[in-house]
Amino acid sequence: MITPDVPGDHRIALKWDISAMGRGFEGVSSWGDGDVIVPAGPLSQLGRGVYMAGPIERETHGAFSAVWIKGQPPFDPRPSMQWTARLHSFMSGYFKDTTEPPYRVFMRFNPMNAGGGAALTHSFLVTYGKDVTGESFKAILGHEMTHTWTASGAVGNWYSEGNAVFYQAMIPWKAGLFTTDQYLQDINETAYRYFTNALRDTPEDQVVPRFWEDTRIRVLPYDRGAMYFAVLNGKVRRASSGRRSIDDLILVMMQKARSREPLSEQVWVDLVRQELGEDGVAVHRSMMAGGLMLPESDDFGPCFRRTTTKMRQFDLGFDNASIVSNPKVIKGLKPGSEAEKAGLRNGDIVTYGVALDAVQGDIGRKLEMKVTRDGKTFDVAYRPRGAEVETYQWERVPDASDPICKS
C-alpha cells in the first residue's frame, strides 16, 4: 500500500466504498469490520494490515475472529478456526497478557503457495488451494500466531522465525490441542530439514543476501533458529534446576518491545549472558557463524530422547540456479539423480506451483513440474532426494506419561 511519507504518529480513519459491489458485500480489515479508526501510529502501519471485501463469512469467539469469502474455501473452515480461537486464548495467557488482544485470521485462495501465510497487525493471512484442509492449517497457524507476541525484525530472522518454529507445536501441545505424537512429529520434521541440510553451515550474515538463491539457505533462520532456542532452553533449565526456561528471556524481550525500548541482537545477547554467562554467548556466536545447533537428548522434555538414523538429503538433482532464473531452464542435471530418472533433461523449461521450502521438509512429497521441451509440454513428478546421511531424530521414552512430558 502506498502511503504519504509523513513522519510521526497519526490517528487514521479507514473508510470503505463498496457501493459498486452490490448488496450483501462488506469490507473488513485487520482493525475491524467496516469503517474503523486505526490506533495512532505511523502511516506505514497500513501496509501491515489485511483488507478483504466481498460476501464475508466469519467465525467469532471473544477477541478472536476468522473471515473468508462465502462459498470459499472448498472445506468447512469452522472447526479449524474454533481450534485456533482456543489456541489464541491459551497463547495470550502463556505470554502473560492482562487481557486477550484482538486477533483475526483471513483466509483466501492461492493456487501457487497454498497453505502459506503471513503474520500482520493483530491478524494473519492464510491461503488455501489444492490438497489444503482445515487440519493442515494448524501448524502454520501456530507459527504465525506466535509472531503476534514474539516477532522482532530488529533482532534478526533467526530470532523471530526461530522462536516461532520452537513454539509452533509446543504451545498447542501444552494447551492440549496437539497430542504428544503430533508435537514429536513437528520436532522431527524440523530436525530432519535442518540436520540433513547440505548448506546448514552457511553463516547467518549470508542468509539475507542469498535468501532467494537456494531454499536450503532460506529455511536456516527457521530450522537452525529453532534448534538454537531448544539448545538454550535446555541450558537455562539445567542451570536453574528447572525453575526457569527460555520463556523467561522471551518475556523480557516482549516487555521491552511493549515499552518501545529499542531491540537488537546485542540486547538479546546481553540477556543470554546474564542467564548463562559466556557459555551462552558462545552458543549464540556459534549459531551466527553457522555452527551445528544440536540439542541434548532431553532438551525437548523428559519423555523424549535423541536417536540417530539415516535419511535422504533434499536434492533437486540439477543446478539450483536453474529455477532462480526466468524462464526456469534446467542445467547441470546430475547423472543418476531422481530428476534424471523422472525424465528431466538439460535445457527443459519448467514451472511449478509449490513452495520448495515445504517440499524440502516433507521427505515423502513429490515435486510436480510442467516441462516444456521441443514445443511440447508434459508433466514430470519426482521426489527430490539424494544421498542418505546420518541425522538426528527424537523418540518417546517408553512409558513416559503426558504429565511428565509437559513438566
For residue range 155-179, list pLDDT tens digits in order.
999 999 999 999 999 999 999 999 9
Which 3-state string (H, E, C) describes 38-64? EEEECHHHHHHCCEEEECEEEEEECCE
Give the pLDDT confidence score for residue 110 in this predicted structure.
81
Q: Please return the burial class of 110, using the count of CB atoms within 10 Å of its CB with bins 0-12, 13-18 and 19+.
A: middle
The three cell numbers locating residue 107 = 483466509
Per-residue DSSP letter, 324: T
Q: Which residues contact 149 (CB under 8 A, 6 or more apart)?
A: 91, 95, 254
Find the mean pLDDT for residues 256-260.
90
User: 185: pLDDT confidence band, cut at 50, 70 and 90?
Assistant: very high
Cα 402 from Cα 89, distance rounded (Å):
22
CB atoms within 10 A of CB 28: 22
Amino acid at 88: H
- The string of pLDDT tens digits covering residues 366-401 is 999 999 999 999 999 999 999 999 999 999 998 877
Query: Residue 79: which H helix or E strand, with range?
Result: helix 78-94
Same domain? For 252 and 202 the reply is yes
**94: in domain:** yes
- The residue written with cell numbers 538479546 in the block is 268
**162: in domain:** no
Give the pLDDT confidence score for residue 8 in this predicted structure.
86
**One-character DSSP codes across 161-225:** HHHHHHHHTHHHHHTTSS-HHHHHHHHHHHHHHHHT-TTTT--GGGTTTTTTT-HHHHTHHHHHH
List the CATH number of the domain containing 320: 2.30.42.10
The three cell numbers locating residue 206 = 549470508
pLDDT, mean over the chain:
92
In Å, the largest CA–CA distance within the chain is: 67
Measure Cα distances from 290 to 28, 210, 258, 308, 309 in Å.
Answer: 43, 14, 31, 21, 23
Tally helices (H) and strands (E) across the chain. 13, 16
pTM: 0.91
The three cell numbers locating residue 100 = 486477550
List the CATH number of the domain containing 70: 3.30.2010.30
Helix H segments across 289-349?
338-342
**155: in domain:** no
- Angle (CA) 126 129 131, round 5°: 110
Measure Cα distances from 361 to 5, 211, 322, 366, 385 in Å.
Answer: 41, 17, 20, 11, 11
Whether the bond into 384 is cis, omega within 30 of 0: no
Phi first, then psi, for residue 14 (nearest 5°) are: -100, 115
Same domain? For 177 and 293 the reply is yes
Same domain? For 87 and 194 the reply is no
- The string of pLDDT tens digits covering residues 101-137 is 889 999 998 877 677 778 888 898 888 877 777 787 7
Report which listed range, 47-51, 79-83, 109-113, 287-291, is most confident.
287-291
Same domain? For 378 and 252 the reply is no
Measure Cα distances from 56 to 29, 37, 80 in Å.
Answer: 11, 21, 17
- Angle (CA) 147 149 152, round 5°: 65
Same domain? For 228 and 320 the reply is no
- Of 211-215, 223-227, 265-269, 295-299, least confident by mean pLDDT is 211-215
**163: in domain:** no
Which residue(s) pair with 126 in the sheet?
107, 117
Give the pLDDT confidence score for residue 40 in this predicted structure.
87
The end-to-end CA distance of the chain, in Å, is: 46
Same domain? For 325 and 218 the reply is no
Phi first, then psi, for residue 207 (nearest 5°) are: -65, -50
State the Cα torsion 298-304-305-306 to the nearest 10°.
-90
CA neighbours closer than 13 Å in the CB half-sphere of residue 261: 11
Same domain? For 181 and 297 the reply is yes
**160: in domain:** no
**4: in domain:** no
User: 230: pLDDT confidence band, cut at 50, 70 and 90?
Assistant: very high
**158: in domain:** no
Give the pLDDT confidence score for residue 118 in this predicted structure.
82
Number of domains in the chain: 3
Indicate if the pLDDT at residue 12 is higher than 70.
yes
Structural domain boundaries, residue 343: 316-383
User: 407: pLDDT confidence band, cut at 50, 70 and 90?
Assistant: low
Same domain? For 43 and 66 the reply is yes
Same domain? For 249 and 305 the reply is yes
- For the chain, percent of residues with pLDDT exceeding 70: 99
- For the chain, percent of residues with pLDDT exceeding 90: 70
Indicate if the pLDDT at residue 64 is higher than 70.
yes
Same domain? For 111 and 214 the reply is no
The three cell numbers locating residue 279 = 557459555
**1: in domain:** no
Cα 129 from Cα 127, distance rounded (Å):
7
Find the mean pLDDT for residues 220-240.
98
Helix (H, G, I), strand (E, B) or coil at 374: coil
The three cell numbers locating residue 50 = 489485511
Domain boundary among 117, 150, 183: 150
Same domain? For 235 and 344 the reply is no
Same domain? For 322 and 364 the reply is yes
